[in-house]
Amino acid sequence: MFGIKPIFWVLINAVVSFAYLFIISKILGKKQIAQLEFIDYAVGISLGSIAAEMSTDSETPFYYYLIAMTIFLVLALLVSLIGRKNSALKRILKGKPSTLIYEGKIDYKQLVKCNIDVNDLLSMLREKNYFDINDVAYAIFEPSGKLSVLPKGNQKPVVIEDVNREAIEQSSLSNVIIVDGAISKSGLSEASKTEEWLFEKLQLKNEEDLENIILAVYDDKTDTFTVHYKETR
C-alpha cells in the first residue's frame, strides 16, 4: 500500500508545479498560445515535461525543478528580447515565411522544403475559404504554421459598396484531376471524363510527363485546365 506521506508530497508538488507553470505562462504572454513558433514549441514542451516530472517525483527536492523552469523562462525571454533587435537571429530561431503559391503557381521546391504535400495545401486553403486554387495569387506559410492567402484581384471579398455595382456569380468547385503525379479517379468521374481524354487534353506523352505535374485542376465551365508543374516550363 502507498504511504500517506508520498501521496501528500505528490499532491503538493503537483499544485506547486501547476501554479508556477501558470505564472510562467502569464509572463510569456498570450503569444505562447496564439502563435506557436519553433522556439515557443520547444520551451512549452520542456516546461510541461519538467512540471510533469516534478509533480510525481517525491525524492528530488521540488525547488530543483523550479530552478530548471526558471532557467527556461529566462532563456525564452532573452531569445525574445534579442530577436527583436537582431533580425538574423530571429530568422534562425523562429524561421521565416515560405511562399507556397507565387503569382498563382505552386512552388514545388517550397512544398518539399516545408514537408507539405498538395493535399495539405488544398486543405489549408479550404480552411481559409478558398475552395478553388485558381482564386489564389499568393499563399505564404508562416513560421507559426498558419497560411496567409492573398486572392487574385477578381476574387477579393465583396464589400457593401460592391453589391450594387456588379452581380455576384454563383460559385462552383473546379475538379481536381491530378495530384502529385497521380490521376484522381474521383475527379475524372465528377468531370465525366476519361484518362484518354486527359492525356490528349494535356498533351501528355507518357507517365513521366504525368509525374511532373503537382496539380491539375479542370474547369468544366470554360473547358480549361490550370496545371502546376514540379519543374517550371
More confident residue, 15 or 96: 96
Same domain for 12 and 85, yes or no, is: yes
Same domain flag for 117 and 78 = no
Helix axes 62-85, 4-28, angle to 10 degrees: 10
Asked whether residue 147 carries a pLDDT value surpassing 60, the answer given is: yes
Are residues 25 and 68 both part of a single domain? yes
Cβ(177)–Cβ(145) below 8 Å: no
As a whole number, the mean pLDDT across the chain is 77
At 20-77, the pLDDT tens digits run: 766 766 665 544 444 556 666 677 777 778 877 877 777 778 778 888 888 877 877 7
- Cell numbers found for residue 48: 510541461
Measure the CA–CA gap between 104 and 190, rounded to whole angstroms. 24
Higher pLDDT, 143 or 176: 176
Domain endpoint, select from 133, 160, 187: 160
Single residue among 74, 92, 110 that ends a domain in this structure = 92
> How far is residue 142's CA from residue 37's CA, in Å, rounded to a whole number?
9
Q: Does residue 220 share a domain with residue 149? A: no
Residue 2 confidence class, pLDDT cut points 50, 70, 90:
very low
Chain-centre distance for alpha carbon 167? 34
Residue 1's pLDDT is 38
- How far is it, in rounded angstroms, from Cα 94 to Cα 201? 44
In a domain, 219, yes or no: yes
Secondary structure (H, E, C), the chain: CCCHHHHHHHHHHHHHHHHHHHHHHHHHCCHHHHCCCHHHHHHHHHHHHHHHHHHHCCCCCHHHHHHHHHHHHHHHHHHHHHHHHCHHHHHHHHCCCEEEEECCEECHHHHHHCCCCHHHHHHHHHHCCCCCHHHEEEEEECCCCCEEEEECHHHCCCCHHHHCCCCCCCCCCCEEEEECCEECHHHHHHHCCCHHHHHHHCCCCCHHHHHCEEEEEEECCCCEEEEEECCCC
Nearest partner of 156 among 137, 170, 131, 176, judged by Cα: 137
User: Domain range for residue 213?
Assistant: 174-229
Clarify whether residues 86 and 60 are in a common domain. yes
Q: Is residue 167 part of a domain?
A: no
Same domain as 151, residue 114:
yes
Identify whether 165 is part of a domain: no
- Asked if residue 214 is part of any domain, the answer here is yes
Give the pLDDT band (50/70/90) at residue 157: low
The percentage of the chain sitting over the pLDDT mark of 70, rounded to a whole number, equals: 70
Give yes or no for residue 114 having a pLDDT over 90: no
Q: Is the pLDDT of residue 193 over 80?
A: yes
pLDDT for residue 33: 46
Instruction: Supply the CATH number for residue 221's domain.
Output: 3.30.240.20
Residue 131 has pLDDT above 70, yes or no: yes
Q: Looking at the structure, do residues 127 and 199 belong to the same domain, yes or no?
A: no
Residue 10 falls inside a structural domain: yes
Give the count of domains, the chain: 3
Are 51 and 110 found together in one domain?
no
Answer whether residue 54 is part of any domain: yes
Residue type, 106: I
Task: Specify the higher pLDDT residue, 36 or 143.
Answer: 143
Q: Domain for residue 52, yes or no?
A: yes
Least confident of 23-32, 138-147, 211-220: 23-32
Rounded CA Rg of the chain: 26
Instruction: Looking at the structure, tell me whether residues 114 and 70 fall in a common domain.
Output: no
Q: Tell whether 169 is covered by a domain.
A: no
Residue 99 pLDDT > 90: yes
Domain boundary among 135, 160, 185: 160
